[in-house]
Amino acid sequence: DGGITQSPKYLFRKEGQNVTLSCEQNLNHDAMYWYRQDPGQGLRLIYYSQIVNDFQKGDIAEGYSVSREKKESFPLTVTSAQKNPTAFYLCASSIGRVETQYFGPGTRLLVL
Among 12, 18, 99, 110, binds other proteins (CB under 8 A): 99
**How far is the C-alpha of 68 from the C-alpha of 108, rounded, in Å?**
22
CB of 98 to other proteins, least distance (A): 4
Which residue type is seen at 43?
Answer: L
Distance CA 109, CA 112 (A): 10
Least Å distance between CB 64 and other proteins? 16
Q: Is 106 in the site for other proteins (CB under 8 A)?
A: yes
Which of 42, 69, 83, 84 binds other proteins (CB under 8 A)? It is: 42
In the complex, least distance from residue 46 CB atom to other proteins, rounded to whole angstroms = 11
Angle subtended at Cα 47 by Cα 44 and Cα 52, rounded to the nearest 5 degrees: 150
User: CA 9 to CA 79: how far, in whole Å?
Assistant: 19
Residues near other proteins (CB under 8 A) are 31, 33, 35, 41-45, 48, 50, 56, 58-59, 88, 90, 97-106
